Amino acid sequence: MTEGASSAPSVVVLDYGSGNVHSAAKALEAVGAKVSLTADREAAQTADGLVVPGVGAFEAVVDQLKAVRGDQIIDRRLAGGLPVLGICVGMQVLFERGVEHGRDTEGLGEWPGIVDRLDARILPHMGWNTVDAPVDSVLFDGVRDERFYFVHSYAAQEWGVPASDVFAPAKLTWADHGGRFLAAVENGPLSATQFHPEKSGKAGMRVLRNWVMSLPSRAA
């Protein structure tokens, strides 16, 4: 155990059968988190942070999450103000609906809106792209002008959460491929990235580190 590991923020990477969980876990460990790769409900609900990665089809990821009650875990954490980070399809399924190959699938409904096909000549959108992040972004602190690695054909292309006098507005980061789409969202305890930070070099590692360092410690 490295010095200071006992005080490192605890992060669970939800292991529900989707791909890239091991690379996400290794990246989070590299930026200072104490990481567990598990679908255990108690561990996922008591960790300082929960990461929900995802690759593949929207419908399959929703089904896999529900099979381990991941939807309930996410909902309960957010109800208690506990941080959650979605990555790639793990971001997409946070929206109300996903439309892929003519199939309209109900998402987890944490945010209103639809994930659908990008209106681009070349798909998938694969490779490095810049983002337009707000100046007060926590995730993109120090890397607002960097490039990040995307692999996707679908995305949320509108933000449907109305303005509120009670809650702070979400911090929205956009990118462009055949039109504007949401590259990241920071909305209270719920954050997500459409790109893969664990595959985005030093800039992506900084995004993960920024999130890990923002976690409120729940250690005794």
Mark whether 106 is an active-site residue: no
Alpha helices in the chain (DSSP H): 21-30, 41-46, 58-67, 70-79, 89-92, 201-213
Mark whether 88 is an active-site residue: yes
The single residue of 88, 125, 177, 186 carrying the catalytic annotation is: 88
Q: Cα 46 to chain center, whole Å? A: 18
Beta-strand pair 84-87/95-100 = unpaired
Residue with tokens 């790769």: 37
Mark whether 198 is an active-site residue: yes
The single residue of 110, 146, 186, 198 carrying the catalytic annotation is: 198
**DSSP designation for 146:** -
Angle between helices 58-67 and 70-79 (to 10 degrees): 80
The single residue of 125, 152, 177, 196 carrying the catalytic annotation is: 196
Which residue from 91, 118, 119 is spatially nearest to 107, judged by alpha carbons? 91
Q: Exposure of 1 by Cβ count < 10 A (0-12 exposed, 13-18 middle, 19+ buried)? A: exposed
Residue 119 corresponds to which amino acid? D
- Domains of the chain by range and CATH? 5-213 (3.40.50.880)
Burial 156-190 (b: 16+ CB within 10 A, else e): bbebeeeeeeeeeebbbbbbebeeebbbbbbbebb
**What is the predicted pLDDT for the residue at 166?**
66
Cα gap 198→205, rounded to integer Å: 6
pLDDT tens, residue order, the chain (220 aa): 344 455 899 999 999 988 678 999 999 999 999 999 999 999 999 999 999 999 999 999 999 999 999 999 999 999 999 999 999 999 999 999 999 988 999 999 999 999 999 999 999 999 999 999 999 999 999 999 999 999 999 999 999 888 776 678 999 999 999 999 999 999 999 999 999 999 999 999 999 999 999 998 755 4
Residue 142 phi/psi, 5-degree rounding, is: 85, -5
**DSSP element (H, E) containing 176:** strand 171-176
**What is the predicted pLDDT for the residue at 168?**
83
Q: Residue 81 in 3-state DSSP?
A: coil
**What is the predicted pLDDT for the residue at 200?**
98
Q: Residue 158 in 3-state DSSP?
A: coil
